[in-house]
Structure 1
Amino acid sequence: MAPGSPRRGGRSPKAALALLASTQLLLIMDTAIINVALPSVGDDLGSGSAGLSWVANAFLITFGGLLLLGGRAADLLGHRRVFLGGLGVLGVASAVGGAAGTVGVLVGARAVQGVGAALAAAAAFALLLNLFPDGPDRHKALGAFAAMGGLGGVLGTVLGGVLTDLLGWRSTLWLNVIGVLVLAVLAPRLLDGGTRSAERGFDIGGALTATAGLGLLAYGLVGAGEAGWTSARTLGAFAGGLVLLAAFAVLEKRIARPLVPPAVLRRPTLRLANCLSALAQMALFPMFFLVSLYLQSVLDQTPLYGGLGLLPLSLVVVATAPRTGQLIDRLGLRATMTLGFTLLFLGMLWLALALAAEGTFVSTVLAPSLVLGVALPLVMVTTNVAATADAAPGETGLASGLVNTSQQFGSVLGLAVLVAVATARTDALGATGAADETAGFKAALLVGAVFAASAALLSFRLRLPASVSAHPHQDRVGGAPE
């Protein structure tokens, strides 16, 4: 069925895609927007840097820890139902955060926001997979998702500066409430409710161990910069997370209906694609943060102009993403993926070498950011296509949870590692001025280039299974009716 043609019940796939892509825009924007507002939060609520860091970190921990559970819950309970539930949790928590009188309340609200975001993100991606069968239509849909993700990162930075300057930091959270209300009103009209697996039963032990294990790993990663990589808190979180994930692996082999069937994880294409998704985010996510920081702290730009400096990159993403499907059809998935990671490597390397303490935006950031704008949708779309290519209709939520978890942990790990590299390099030089800060940024971006180069080499090993097109896809969005 061609995109945009009417579906059963008069629902249009194109309208549904617009809704799901807008959800992706809102969730990515929410990840970025609060970072710009943090200094104003500290001034208003009287919090130091340690407390403020957890306003951002609380969201990342619950978001990363619950994606896998959210994806499987969507398969079993219904994708639209979990999508709406996630939006509801996100909206209520955003309202509580917008009215918070203390940092403690705000941190708690941000943690609950992460819960809602995880449920909504996993269900939205699964709805997209069910809506568009594997092939050119899905490639175009994933291109739209990638475009909205790239745009959301920049819009979050820009709107964070504008709203904080004009209306105060609380308006950044109330923007979420408005966005959620719009999406929640449209979802029942545009999304089919018959989107749940015929399988029944829920793996409580697997859900608890996987969620707690992933949550502890996220806690260790986001707190490593503050506590130190070898601190008791960081090592304890890593050890606890690994023990719980090991227990999860044992449980999954012994129960009838596991949260993640071991046979799924034995698929080589899925494993490699999730690894590549993580590597992509380990380079891309911290790049946005480091470039914004360079523009503000070295080139002395305001937060608003620091965000606007990433606008050309986002415009290239929006222009490139819809054409990624055509490139896949022409070159093949593996060749397009390798091209994307090669461009990512070249863009990161060029950016690292171009940064200068006495530079300007045009002389340092603009040209390499345009290369990165082309690379971003190529790597995001191709890794998502590969990670979900052999997912059966009843596994779309699971596939969504896995790839989203890989991307989220890649983002968190990449940010933690690259910020640690930048800080260590700057401190080693004495941290006496812009030149030392620039050297730290250059070192971090070079490490990001290494991640991209590793992914480019690994992409040569990608082999799509012969059975990719063998899974039947229903005319409806999903499986058994609710």
Structure 2
Amino acid sequence: MPRTAWLVLPLVCACQFVVILDASIVNVALPSIRRDLGFTPTGLAWVVDAYLLTLAGFMLLGGRAADLAGRRRLLAGGVLLFALASLAAGLAPTAGVLVAARAVQGLGAALLAPATLAVISTAFTAGAARARAFGAWSAAGGVGGMAGALAGGALTTALSWRWVFLVNVPIGAALVAVAFAALPGDRPGPRERLDVLGAVTGTAGLAALIYGVMRGHGGTVAAGLGLLAVFAVVEWRVAAAPMLPLRLLARRGPAAADAMLLLFGAAAIGLWYFSSLLLQNVLGYSALRAGLGQTPAAVLFVVVAHWAAVLLPRLGPRVLVLCGSVCLTAGFAWLSRAGTGYLAGVLGPTLLVAAGIGLVFPTLMAAATAGVPEGDAGTAGGLASTASQAGSSIGLALLATVDGFDRVFLAAAGIGVVLAVASTLLPRRENAGAGVGGGSGDTSAGLQPRRAA
């Protein structure tokens, strides 16, 4: 490793911060964007949806590409694409150009996000150091999500909505420079050709499923599920070098963590999105004041995520996820009974939910990539990121159909109960201490796909 190796963790944390920040920073600027570029009310939603769809749809492909092309190359390339798309968005003369730029932004984020997880998995192999790295990475994402409203409001008010995007350009340039300074050169990856059929069916299936749920289009949901079924067949029976190697699904701990990340994403969106709406629509807060109102929860999330990383090697993932799920359930149940005042009915339950998220998220991300061979680290990170992002998108769409904030938060509490029960599927102890490629008890040897002749 180069002498600047100490920059590795700040680098991946900064990348994760930017990816999550851009999912929310634009929300406050939407009224100004609509006025300047002449969006229709339905078209305006694409400024957000175009980013989220490509981000969720291409993450698995980005993870596999990181294993084949190299982590530094994919991380730097993803940041560069993200920054160039941000420049195009900031200078967009028309609505169509802005939506297209946002889609390319999401693609860049989908390339770099799994690469950050692969870097963590390969650079931090000792159990305690690895847990701390995942805790810091998770906290960076949480801060990015919460900082979106504040940064978006400040930039739009002081300068212009265009700076919501243009601010990414100098940040991206700095991150690319740090990536080449801090990360070792990419070793030649396995001589495998990209699974094109799997990439097309998997990516298109995810995008169609998420879009169909977000828009309530049953036919699109069915098409997405059909494409994902084709993807499963391709990976199991056809592909010589599958985009999603089945050995990653053969170990119970990581497979259970991936499934739980899907549920977790659906529950966590209940705090970050719907509590903001509660503050604005019920308590009459401005968007900027609502962001400030969520700041205590963001701070607690960062603190708890740090302590979860410290405790993970000692207590193991099962205990931490169980405790976090109980906090989620109790906090959302309390929030469903929120009164009309911030201190009386919002602050306490949001802090409790934030504590639960801080315990669950870094723990599940660490469990989902524990003991994965180095050659599959990017794919494992892409699968975990896809599960979390898809869960958030689908959960947002489903919870948005529930009538009333009280029922929305009760539904989120119900997901917390399911997570608590599912935590029994996780190992008692954190077995990531063996590092990448470590981990005993790998049962994937006997589970190999039957390839078509």
> What is the TM-score of this pair, normalised by structure 2?
0.93
Once the two structures are TM-superposed, the CA of residue 131 in structure 1 deviates from its matched residue by 0.8
Q: Is the 8 A contact 1:30 1:176 kept in 2?
A: no
Once the two structures are TM-superposed, the CA of residue 329 in structure 1 deviates from its matched residue by 2.9
Q: Is the 8 A contact 1:78 1:195 kept in 2?
A: yes
Counterpart in the other structure of 2:25: 33
Within a 5 Å distance, the mapping from 1:57-136 to structure 2 comes to 57-133=49-125, 135-136=127-128
- Unaligned 5+ runs, structure 1: 1-7, 225-233, 426-439, 475-482
Within a 5 Å distance, the mapping from 1:169-208 to structure 2 comes to 169-194=161-186, 197-208=189-200
Once the two structures are TM-superposed, the CA of residue 468 in structure 1 deviates from its matched residue by 5.6
Counterpart in the other structure of 1:410: 391
Q: Which amino acid aligns with 1:180?
A: G
Deviates more, 1:64-73 or 1:95-104: 95-104
Question: What's the Cα RMSD here?
Answer: 1.8
Counterpart in the other structure of 2:226: 243
Counterpart in the other structure of 1:252: 235
Instruction: Give the Cα–Cα distance (whole angstroms) in 2 for the partners of residues 222 and 177 of structure 1.
Output: 30
Q: Is the 8 A contact 2:125 2:434 kept in 1?
A: no
Instruction: Give the Cα–Cα distance (whole angstroms) in 2 for the partners of residues 221 and 390 of structure 1.
Output: 34
Within a 5 Å distance, the mapping from 1:139-178 to structure 2 comes to 139-178=131-170
Once the two structures are TM-superposed, the CA of residue 237 in structure 1 deviates from its matched residue by 1.2
Counterpart in the other structure of 1:430: none
Instruction: Give the Cα–Cα distance (whole angstroms) in 1 for the partners of residues 120 and 82 of structure 2.
Output: 20
Residues 89 and 104 of structure 1, relative CA distance in 2, 3 Å threshold: same
Kindly tell me the number of residue pairs found equivalent between the two proteins: 437
SS at match of 1:389: coil
Q: Is the 8 A contact 2:124 2:435 kept in 1?
A: no
Residues 96 and 415 of structure 1, relative CA distance in 2, 3 Å threshold: same
Counterpart in the other structure of 1:342: 326
Deviates more, 1:64-73 or 1:35-44: 35-44
Residues 379 and 465 of structure 1, relative CA distance in 2, 3 Å threshold: closer
Once the two structures are TM-superposed, the CA of residue 287 in structure 1 deviates from its matched residue by 2.0
Once the two structures are TM-superposed, the CA of residue 196 in structure 1 deviates from its matched residue by 5.5
Q: Is the 8 A contact 1:151 1:314 kept in 2?
A: yes
Counterpart in the other structure of 1:398: 379
Instruction: Give the Cα–Cα distance (whole angstroms) in 1 for the partners of residues 185 and 179 of structure 2.
Output: 10
Q: Is the 8 A contact 1:78 1:196 kept in 2?
A: yes
Once the two structures are TM-superposed, the CA of residue 262 in structure 1 deviates from its matched residue by 2.2
Deviates more, 1:284-293 or 1:411-420: 284-293
Within a 5 Å distance, the mapping from 1:283-302 to structure 2 comes to 283-302=267-286
SS at match of 1:451: helix
Instruction: Give the Cα–Cα distance (whole angstroms) in 2 for the partners of residues 338 and 241 of structure 1.
Output: 32
Q: Could you list the per-position Cα deviations for residues 392-430 of structure 1 after superposition, in whole angstroms to 9, with x for gaps in the alignment?
A: 111100100100000011000110111110xxx2xxxxx
Counterpart in the other structure of 1:9: 2
Q: Is the 8 A contact 1:222 1:416 kept in 2?
A: yes
Q: Is the 8 A contact 1:252 1:258 kept in 2?
A: yes
- Matched-pair identity in %: 39
Residues 288 and 469 of structure 1, relative CA distance in 2, 3 Å threshold: closer
Counterpart in the other structure of 1:353: 337
Residues 129 and 195 of structure 1, relative CA distance in 2, 3 Å threshold: farther
Tell me, yes or no, if structure 1 residue 447 matches structure 2 residue 447: no
Within a 5 Å distance, the mapping from 1:448-467 to structure 2 comes to 448-463=412-427
Deviates more, 1:331-340 or 1:392-401: 331-340
Q: Could you list the per-position Cα deviations for residues 200-246 of structure 1 after superposition, in whole angstroms to 9, with x for gaps in the alignment?
A: 2221111111111111112112222xxxxxxxxx1221121112111
Q: Which amino acid aligns with 2:169?
A: V
Q: Which amino acid aligns with 2:120?
A: L
Residues 367 and 471 of structure 1, relative CA distance in 2, 3 Å threshold: closer
Instruction: Give the Cα–Cα distance (whole angstroms) in 2 for the partners of residues 297 and 415 of structure 1.
Output: 17
Q: Which amino acid aligns with 2:239?
A: I
SS at match of 2:284: coil
1:368 alignment partner, one of 341, 349, 355: 349
Q: Is the 8 A contact 1:62 1:111 kept in 2?
A: yes
Once the two structures are TM-superposed, the CA of residue 467 in structure 1 deviates from its matched residue by 7.8
Instruction: Give the Cα–Cα distance (whole angstroms) in 2 for the partners of residues 417 and 197 of structure 1.
Output: 40
Instruction: Give the Cα–Cα distance (whole angstroms) in 2 for the partners of residues 321 and 381 of structure 1.
Output: 7
Q: Which amino acid aligns with 2:427?
A: R
1:380 alignment partner, one of 350, 354, 361: 361
Q: Could you list the per-position Cα deviations for residues 108-158 of structure 1 after superposition, in whole angstroms to 9, with x for gaps in the alignment?
A: 111111100100111111111111115111110010011111111111111
Tell me, yes or no, if structure 1 residue 389 matches structure 2 residue 370: yes
Q: Is the 8 A contact 1:16 1:191 kept in 2?
A: yes
Once the two structures are TM-superposed, the CA of residue 471 in structure 1 deviates from its matched residue by 6.2
Instruction: Give the Cα–Cα distance (whole angstroms) in 2 for the partners of residues 23 and 472 of structure 1.
Output: 22
Q: Is the 8 A contact 1:122 1:401 kept in 2?
A: yes
Instruction: Give the Cα–Cα distance (whole angstroms) in 2 for the partners of residues 468 and 374 of structure 1.
Output: 23
Instruction: Give the Cα–Cα distance (whole angstroms) in 1 for the partners of residues 114 and 267 of structure 2.
Output: 22
> What is the TM-score of this pair, normalised by structure 1?
0.87
